[in-house]
């Protein structure tokens, strides 16, 4: 089946950039585009970093999974890319796309500090995205891009990160 990811929001580019930001992620993505592979197979080829890439792809909803039997008849989770192609046909103001690119290539240490601030500002009850963006002194586009960059599993945390009329992040 052929699935196309249509990118219409500039912040949707962030997970794509992050999916290929290391050689291992690029190689794993290429491999699982061609055929189904288990995490065990990927780990044998790429080590722990390969397994982490699969986890990242799964959280970013870039892969689909299925259970298949291993040679010793044990069920193993296998991965394959969800989309066969991407369609980007958009025009965005320079200030918006510059925020998206900045969030995508931001130093990991700097990103972790901002991510912690976002989580702290949202608190247990959640908070409007506009209020969080204002508190951080960033644009709404930058905030959306930063949140889409995170690989943390918000559903497990059991709380809403940020809410807004336009998007909801978290569980």
* Helix residue spans in 106-139 (DSSP H): 108-122, 129-136
Q: Please report the pLDDT score of residue 9 as a whole number.
A: 85
* Total number of domains in the chain: 2
* Residue 88 bridge partners (DSSP): 7
Strand bridging mode 4-7 / 85-88: parallel
Whether residues 99 and 150 fall in one domain: yes
Whether residues 73 and 100 fall in one domain: no
Whether residues 9 and 67 fall in one domain: yes
Whether residues 13 and 84 fall in one domain: yes
Which of 37, 59, 88 is where one domain is finished?
88
Which of 88, 107, 124 is where one domain is finished?
88
Helices and strands, counts by H and E, the chain: 9, 7
Whether residues 75 and 37 fall in one domain: yes
Which of 37, 54, 88 is where one domain is finished?
88
Whether residues 65 and 99 fall in one domain: no
Q: Please report the pLDDT score of residue 102 as a whole number.
A: 92
DSSP 71-87: TTS-EEEEEEES-SEEE
Range of the domain at 47: 4-88
* pTM of the entire predicted model: 0.68
Give the three-class secondary structure for 53.
helix
Tens-level pLDDT at each residue, the chain (171 residues): 678 888 888 888 888 888 888 999 999 999 999 999 999 999 999 999 999 999 999 988 899 999 998 888 889 999 999 988 888 877 888 888 899 999 988 998 999 999 899 888 887 777 888 888 999 999 989 998 898 887 654 433 434 454 443 444 443
| Cβ–Cβ under 8 Å, residues 169 and 152 | no
CATH number of the domain enclosing 143: 1.10.10
Q: Which of 75, 81, 99, 85 is nearest to 147 (CA)?
A: 99
Q: Please report the pLDDT score of residue 1 as a whole number.
A: 67
CATH number of the domain enclosing 31: 1.10.10.10
């Amino acid at each position: 089946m052929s699935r196309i990811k249509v990118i219409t929001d500039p912040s949707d580019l962030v997970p794509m950039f992050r999916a290929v930001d290391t050689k291992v992620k690029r190689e794993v993505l290429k491999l699982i585009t061609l055929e189904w592979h288990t995490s065990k197979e990927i780990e044998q080829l790429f080590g722990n970093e390969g397994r982490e890439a699969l986890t990242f792809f799964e959280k970013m909803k870039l892969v689909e999974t299925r259970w298949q039997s291993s040679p010793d008849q044990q069920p193993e989770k296998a991965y394959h890319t969800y989309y066969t192609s991407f369609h980007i046909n958009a025009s965005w103001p320079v200030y918006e796309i510059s925020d998206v690119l900045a969030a995508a290539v931001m130093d990991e240490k700097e990103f972790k500090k901002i991510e912690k601030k976002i989580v702290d500002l949202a608190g247990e009850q959640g908070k409007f995205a506009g209020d969080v963006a204002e508190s951080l002194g960033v644009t709404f586009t930058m905030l959306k891009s930063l949140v889409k960059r995170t690989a943390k599993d918000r559903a497990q945390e059991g709380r809403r990160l940020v809410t807004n009329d336009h998007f909801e992040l978290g569980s």
